[in-house]
Amino acid sequence: MSYVIPAPAQPSLPIQGSDQRFPVRRIFCIGRNYAEHAREMGATVEKDAPLFFCKPADAIVTDGADLPYPQATADLHHEVEMVVALGAGGRDVAADRAAALVWGYGVGLDLTRRDLQAVAKAKSHPWDVAKAFDHSAPVSALRAAAEVRPSPATRLSLAVNGSVRQQATLADMIHDVPGIIAMLSTLFELKAGDLIFTGTPAGVAALQRGDRFHAELEGIATLDGRVA
């Protein structure tokens, strides 16, 4: 097949212990999935009406790469999250079948232009410019679910310049991974290659140029980078 312009490159992530890569189709995110984070943002948690939004696949920044400070903001915030990679998909997936769709796990940052988000919230506008900008989704190398699976006791953390800013266990999540997948599949047809950011704990704060960050999903994945 020929195209009238060069075809965009396929976004992908490295896989721990393999020369192969994981092709990324779409990035889905759930907001307010940790109660303490919702409270620090002045939001209420609606368990029956979870908040979902998307990022473009080419927003990915891989482990170790410099993170360019984004344009049009003076308040870039970090939100560390467990990332789930799907190896299969479907519509209206039952929660008891959802875990079978997971190919692997990683850790990532849902970066947010907080000042633009505040304006969008005040005007009841969509969050796209605050969440779906270039380089807004740093993600680690993935670890196959066949090798390891997180448990409720698995710790999720983020340190900036050596100081821990965010820390929680997955038991603190309001919606677990099967529940998130099941709910998303009622809104979108999920497919292999989709990533799901599963929410952030309390402690979100600003990143500055020159900051170095270290994110960790205990025993599974780490992500290191520098804000350029």
CATH number for the domain spanning 133: value is 3.90.850.10
Q: Quick: pLDDT tens for 190-212.
A: 999 999 999 999 999 999 999 99
On whether residue 2 sits in a domain, the answer given is no
On whether residue 52 sits in a domain, the answer given is yes
Looking at this protein, which amino acid is placed at residue 53?
Answer: F
On whether residue 34 sits in a domain, the answer given is yes
On whether residue 16 sits in a domain, the answer given is no
Contact 195, 24 (CB under 8 A): yes
Whole-number Cα distances in Å, 225 to 61, 67, 128, 196, 212: 9, 7, 24, 21, 6
Predicted confidence at residue 46, as pLDDT, reads 74
Give the distance from CA 66 to its chain's centroid: 18
Put simply, whether the predicted model's pTM sits higher than 0.85 gets the answer: yes
On whether residue 60 sits in a domain, the answer given is yes
Q: Quick: pLDDT tens for 30-67.
A: 999 998 887 877 777 778 889 999 999 999 999 999 99
On whether residue 6 sits in a domain, the answer given is no
Residue 135 forms beta bridges with which residues?
A: none
On whether residue 12 sits in a domain, the answer given is no
Hey, is 184 helix, strand or coil? helix
On whether residue 100 sits in a domain, the answer given is yes
Counted domains in the chain: 1
Q: What string of pLDDT tens digits covers the 228 residues of the chain?
A: 899 999 999 999 999 999 999 999 999 999 999 988 878 777 777 788 899 999 999 999 999 999 999 999 999 999 999 999 999 999 999 999 999 999 999 999 999 999 999 999 999 999 999 999 999 999 999 999 999 999 999 999 999 999 999 999 999 999 999 999 999 999 999 999 999 999 999 999 999 999 999 999 999 999 999 999
Contact 200, 109 (CB under 8 A): no
Q: Which domain holds residue 217?
A: 21-227
